[in-house]
Chain A
Amino acid sequence: MVINGKLWKRSRTLERSEVMEKKEQKKHQQKQSGPKAERKKSRKQGAEPEKDERKRNPKAFAVQSAVRMARTFHRAQDLKTKKHHIPLVDRTPLEPPPVVVVVVGPPKVGKSTLIRCLIKNFTRQKLSDICGPITIVSGKKRRLTFIECGNDINTMIDLAKVADLVLMLIDASFGFEMETFEFLNICQVHGFPRIMGVLTHLDSFKNNKTLRKTKKRLKHRFWTEVYQGAKLFYLSGMVHGEYQTQEVRNLGRFISVMKFRPLVWQTSHPYVLADRMEDLTDPEAVRVDPKCDRTVCLYGYLRGTYLKNKSQVHIPGVGDFAVADVSFLPDPCPLPEELKKRALNEKERLLYAPMAGVGGVVYDKDAVYIDLGGSHAEHEQEEVRPTTELVQSLIGTHATLDAKMAASKVSLFTGAAALTPEEVEGVGEEPAPVTESLVWDPVTQRERRKAIFTKDEEDEDEEESEERARERNEVKSSKVAPQPKEQFDEDDGAGEDLEDMDEGDESCFGSAGALQWKEGLVRKAAEAFLRQQSAAPNLRKLVYGTVPGDEEEDGEDEEELGGLFRVSRPEKSKRQRADALDCSRYAPDSAHDWDQEEMLDSIRNCFVTGKWEGDTDAATLLKEDEELYGDFEDLETGEVHQGHAGKQESDGEEQEGSGEEEEEGEEEGENLMKTDDDEERKKKRLEKKRRLKERFDSEYDDGDATYFDDLKEEMQKQAELNRAEFEDVDDETRVQYEGFRPGIEGNVGYLQMRVKKHRWHPRILKTRDPLILSLGWRRFQTIPLYHIEDHNGRHRLLKYTPQHLHCGATIWGPITPQGTGFLAVQAVAGTQSNFRIAATGVVLDLDKSVTVVKKLKLIGYPYKIYKNTAFVKGMFNSVLEVAKFEGASVRTVSGVRGQIKKALRAPPGAYRATFEDRLLMSDIVFLRSWYPVSVPQFYNPVTSLLQPVGQKDSWIGMRTLGQMKRDLGVRTQPNKDSLYKPVVRAKRHFNPLHIPRQLQKALPFKSKPKQDQPKGRTPRDLQRPAVIREPHERKVAALLTALSTVHHHKRKKVRSQQHAQHKVFLQQKEREEEQRSRRQKEARKKMYRMLGQKEKKRQRSSLKGAPQDD
């Protein structure tokens, strides 16, 4: 029907237009005069129209209401400020590690397919199975590491912590699943990475409208979870088991240009997403003792901040370990070397997937690299099996290694289930015996450090590694690596380093020696300084050198004296130094004699009265100003004024220029010189411009610059400085300088946290029930105590978490900085139907003691009462206990307050207390106190990755009491006292009040006990018998009743009549009264008026003077 209506309407309009056409239309009349015409005319003439609407029509923009204007401004500022984030120092290196892209989603949603498609899109290669992280080069400046996330909660938690970008796959035909929301919640807690939704299975919608509606519904739900306007991708359908090429390309484009905000936790902690792992333990040792200590090698890109060698690390799902050694490795997946203005060629599109088993294999010192040699070998790699004999055999060995590991039940990675990553986190540092071997790729400027966990130095290992190194070199020379790679062995590197250092120093100090001081004294001073600073050839060596020289010599002397016997000579100097006075003062150099004029001269310029440097000298500054503002052209006269400083400046230029030229060498021809000169001048000009601009900015922008801008600028400067500082330092040394997390985070202590039960978790949490927490990098089981803060700051223990309220929780766990978020799950084993995340929260405080208390009521009974004083027993056991509570306030159940006075001797623990009223013997006295609760020191890391293969998701830690009872079939035996029984209350019996007769006499009558108390029932003999009337009497009585009724009625009638009459009378009387008062009022008014007039007249006449008549 509606459609019909529309049609009808359209036909109507058609008709009308036809009619219109027929009619003669009125011609447009052009204005010849008036403001409009004038404006048009002026526009034709070429005068610029006024662009600013405000100027053209100021009335429209006039302030109508100041309040409204203020509000608008306020709102605009609010919106502006809301957009600000706290600026952070950008600490990413110039060549950042690959971006971690985590692909998440419920099972069967198309995760592997998407990864496969994306990899094909970027590298034109097909991967048969997705196993472990896959690193690819996606662009000139970006590498990506794809990793698939299963639905085990452990995996989800670990991957959410390292993800830079999350691709959240959603099955549109089904809608959202719990896994998606769980992952989102995990992300929220551990710093929110970028999240992009991807809708799949869209081809299952046959109806276009349903599809559209579903998309919209899912999009809006997704927005509420992530943020308004979050990107949601649609993968519409499959072609030959793959997503559509164009859609995948678009997705890839989005990923490769995406920007990431640094997450605080990630940027402040070093971590490694291990690409690969290898067990270096001797197989024989494993065979003999399957539970022997293992040496495991992990390979991956270092992310976050600097990781220090020999530091303490945490491997999620495994535990805490000390790193035995960290070393550089050449980048297996380097970025293209030079950046040209073109897309990547086939050779540069690298793929590195050591667990996925693609391509050829390259052996490193003790590592296996899978090298694809670019995708020029693409055709060979279409078939996954490598062709070369060598490579095949190597892969074979790799497989056996895996098998071995599986057999010994310690494998971390097997099959698709073991895709869990290992982040290695630097927590504390632990000096352990190590050999350092750093490998650095100077071309890519990228360090790859290999983390090996071991304690013992095994010769065998070293041999093995050497062998491997040799092997690798062979392979490399025959096969791979377009870029030259350099490798420093540990000793070589260190040696070179030292040599470099020595050379540098020699040159340095050579020049120092060449310094010719005019006066002998001054030279002496300089030498004294050198003596102090350069007793060792280098300051660095002096401070950080391994052994000071004198001690070495001592040792040698002893050696010389005899092979067997040694002269026991107390190392006097050393001992003295070790036991010397601990004092921070620095004794002055005795060589300096401050009475000498030369000495005084040597510090003359340290004072403002001395000579200033060129750039800060007042005279120079003045000249500079002239140079800046001296040049100007007088526009009226056309004169050009030249500043005087121009010449000087050019002098300076030449000086600088010549200096540079000398450095560059003299081979360059004149031509070059000229261009140099030009460049120099250009540079100068630019410098001048910059300075002018700076000055201008500082003058005019200061008003506009906000605190936020300043902060941002400061951060920017710091970032630049950070990059610049160690750029030119050799990498070996650089590693030593650059940072490391302090060890304090590795300890265990009490953590106080704010926690809230998750809204979607069906049950509240119970105090002292074990809970699995994900905090920092760690997952661990612990026993929390929940508490709430009273208004006086006391932390009162709660038995259960509140339903929809925050509460405190105290646990024994790893010390983690305040403000770190955490989440809790009750179990990680198996699949649960309901929402797995039980609670979320944040760390508030760290301490070595706990402040949680619970209420404790001590009960006592009075055994003697004197007026307001009572002796109470049963509350304490000894005099000492009472002494501790002297002065404490007590109360009875009936509400009488009192105070503990002093302990009594007789029954131990009894005391004297005073109350505000007299106690009864039946009263119960209690004392409210707060008892500190101890938090169980239970910290159990979730070692889910140590479970046998296939049972990684079945880790069960400590069970709750309820679970254990359920599992063991134990019924709770209730406490008998806690059972409810019918309350039997004895009737209270009060004795009658007895007042002595003497007192009775003295009392006033009012207070005298009255004798006429109501008698109880009249005894039978006193009861009067019922009267039975005769018929006649009955008649008489009936008549009398009737008469009296009539009489009553009559009287009532008369009364009401009288009442009405009286009412009328009253009304009348009132009316009369009113009239009379009105009359009186009027009369009074008249009289007053007359009086007033008379008065006025009199006054007037008195003003005029004496009446003439009189």
Chain B
Amino acid sequence: MFLLTSCSQMTLDPSPTYPVCSKTRGFSWSWSNNNMANQGLTYDGCNFFRQRLVLSTLSGKRVKIRNIRSKDDNPGLRDFEASFIRLMDKITNGTRIEINQTGTVLFYQPGLLYGGTVEHECNPQRSIGYYLEALLMLAPFMKTPLRATLKGVTNDQKDPSVDTLKATAIPLMKKFGLDGEGLELKVVKRGMPPGGGGEVLFSCPVRKTIRPVQLTDPGKIKRIRGTAYSVRVSPQMANRIVDSARSILNKFIPDIYIYTDHMKGANSGKSPGFGLTLVAETTSGTFLSAELVSNPQGQGDPVLPEDLGRNCAKLLLEEVYRGGCVDSTNQSLLLLYMTLGQQDVSKALLGPLSPYTIEFLRHIRDFFQIMFKMETQKQEEDSQKGGDKVLMTCVGAGFTNISKTLK
């Protein structure tokens, strides 16, 4: 009979007003001064939108983002960003979101991460990977274990695909003590852009704390696995991709197996397409990945599966060249977990930092006051071990999951 009501609210204000947090002014002896609310952070522009909201939710600091595409012909938040905000609202309790009428200013006051069973229709402008990356960051710190069903585009050219995240991010999370049968990422249906129609099931257990890691040895690549998928096209496409990809990778290692995954009927989504995901696993359990997807139907020239396979293999080689204990897509996830660890030293060897990661590091400093020690590790000229690496070291913030209920 009695239902728990979420006090989340999402309002569209006619004017960009929002309650400004009154600053704590020195020692004032009145008791009204004891407001403990943190001051918010202000950012400009829509880039790194997810980072800001995720870190805000984890740190409890409010965030105001201004000038979102303010000079654009079509100003304001896009549909996929609105969809992302809605997802954040679903997994939290007590979140306050205010957007002005044009959508150029967003105010976000985070609530507590709630979790539970969530179903979300992701906007097909971006793939599910866009939403899933944020969920991966938040999922271990929920009140109840998250069980999210995301519907939309599973693979596209912009974001890391669900297959890649399944092959790289999930083993990475296991290194931080997030194991058990609760951790699962399952592709139920595949959906290609622009139609979408895919479905992904993601479930993750909750943890009170995350343990520090020392990932300084990337190891050597012992096997390469991959998935060549095709939906609503000839099943032969996948085989052609596999052959061309193997032709390049066979020069390095014989242990290659690329699965072909042809989904049919209800599981194949709404649009045709094909693609390849490659994952290289090393002796120390590091996963490096590369992927390539065909152009969406009606956009750009059609791609030959042979070209796609070859290019994807080359991308994997590029990723191997960059090296490190995590591939370039998951750098930020790794750094976040390191930041949220106990107050102990965590270390990780990374390849060159991607622009996204660099911005993420800045955001971590803004939200958690954590700075990383970065040491460039030069590779010897004849070592033949790819490019230079960066050793990232930090002392964890001592973050504890304050949402989790004690029984």
Chain A contacts to B: CB under 8 angstroms: 89, 91, 268, 291, 293-296, 305-306, 308, 311-312, 319-322, 324, 410, 427-431, 453-456, 508, 511-512, 515-518, 525-526, 529-530, 532-533, 539-540, 542-544, 570, 575, 577-586, 588-589, 592, 594, 599-612, 718, 721-722, 725-726, 729, 733, 736-749, 794, 814-815, 817-819, 842-849, 851, 853, 888, 929-930, 932, 940-941, 943, 946
Contact = CB atoms under 8 A, between A and B. Distances in A.
A301 to B, nearest CB: 18
Given A583-B356, A589-B318, A943-B31, 7 more contacts: A291-B28, A427-B36, A533-B353, A722-B344, A746-B38, A846-B402, A941-B31
Interface in B353-382: 353-358, 361-362, 365, 367-374, 376, 378, 381-382
A220 to B, nearest CB: 35
A436 to B, nearest CB: 14
A455 B371 contact: no
Given A740-B368, A749-B112, A794-B2, A610 B44 contact: no
B406 A747 contact: no
Question: Quick one: which of B45, B369, B403 has the most chain A CB within 10 A?
Answer: B369
A575 B104 CA distance: 14
Nearest to A612: B220
B139 interface: no
A539 B357 CA distance: 12
Interface in B245-300: 248, 251-254, 283
Contacts of B382: 518
A455 B283 contact: no
Interface string B23-64: 111111111011111110000111111110000001111000
Q: Which 10 A-B pairs have the closest CB atoms?
A: A578-B45, A848-B94, A744-B60, A586-B354, A586-B328, A293-B26, A294-B27, A594-B314, A605-B384, A818-B406
B112 A847 contact: yes
Given A456-B26, A584-B329, A725-B393, A544 B365 contact: yes
Interface string B379-393: 001111111101001
Contacts of A305: 343, 398
B47 A740 contact: no
A848 B7 contact: yes
Contacts of A296: 27
Contacts of B381: 515-518
A737 B394 contact: yes
B221 A428 contact: no
A539 B390 contact: yes
Nearest to A597: B251
B31 A532 contact: no
Interface residues of B: mostly helix, strand, loop or mixed?
loop
Contacts of B36: 312, 320, 427-428, 746-748, 814
Given A427-B36, A849-B94, A582 B221 contact: no
Contacts of A515: 378, 381
Contact of B402 (A592, A736, A817, A842): A817
A455 B24 contact: yes
Contacts of A599: 317, 321
Given A430-B24, A529-B387, A818-B404, A849 B7 contact: yes
Contact of B369 (A320, A427, A740): A740
B402 A609 contact: no
Contact of B220 (A581, A610, A747): A610
A172 B2 CA distance: 58
Contacts of A851: 4
A594 B4 contact: no
Given A818-B404, A848-B7, A743 B38 contact: yes
Contacts of B405: 818, 844-845
Contact of B321 (A428, A603, A721, A814): A603
A851 B93 CA distance: 13
A281 to B, nearest CB: 8
28 contacts: A293-B27, A308-B369, A517-B381, A529-B352, A570-B71, A579-B72, A580-B45, A583-B158, A584-B159, A585-B328, A603-B321, A607-B221, A608-B220, A722-B344, A725-B345, A725-B347, A725-B373, A737-B393, A739-B370, A747-B37, A814-B36, A817-B402, A818-B405, A844-B407, A845-B406, A846-B403, A853-B2, A941-B34
B320 interface: yes
Interface residues of B, number: 120
Nearest to A748: B36
Interface in B85-137: 93-94, 111-112, 130, 133
A819 B222 CA distance: 45
Contact of A718 (B71, B130, B344): B344
Contacts of B345: 718, 721-722, 725-726
Given A579-B69, A794-B2, A743 B60 contact: yes
A606 B397 contact: no
Contact of A739 (B283, B356, B396): B396
B5 interface: yes
Nearest to B313: A594
B244 interface: no
B48 A582 contact: yes
B49 A582 contact: yes
Contact of A607 (B7, B31, B253, B404): B253
A747 B38 contact: yes
A815 B402 CA distance: 8
A451 B182 CA distance: 46
Nearest to B319: A588
A511 B380 CA distance: 11
A737 B7 contact: no
A798 to B, nearest CB: 17
Contacts of A268: 343, 398
Contacts of A848: 7, 93-94, 111-112
Contacts of B46: 578-579, 582
Given A744-B60, A747-B37, A607 B252 contact: yes
Contacts of B111: 848
Contact of A594 (B31, B317, B329, B388): B317
Nearest to B248: A594
Given A747-B37, A849-B94, A322 B24 contact: yes
A849 B398 contact: no
Contacts of A745: 60, 402
A689 B404 CA distance: 48
Contacts of B67: 578
Given A525-B387, A543-B362, A848-B94, A581 B60 contact: no
Contacts of A508: 376
Contacts of B226: none
B269 to A, nearest CB: 22
B209 to A, nearest CB: 10
A718 B283 CA distance: 23
A543 B353 contact: yes
Nearest to A601: B384
B236 interface: no
A529 B353 CA distance: 10
Nearest to B361: A543
Contact of B158 (A320, A429, A578, A581): A581
A278 to B, nearest CB: 12
B386 to A, nearest CB: 5
Contacts of B329: 584-586
A579 B45 contact: yes
Contacts of A410: 29
Contacts of B253: 607-609
A745 B36 CA distance: 9
B251 A600 contact: yes
Question: Quick one: which of A570, A737, A946 has the most chain B CB within 10 A?
Answer: A737
B6 interface: yes
Contacts of A932: 2, 5
B234 interface: no
Contacts of B254: 609
Contact of B343 (A512, A529, A609, A739): A739
Nearest to A939: B34
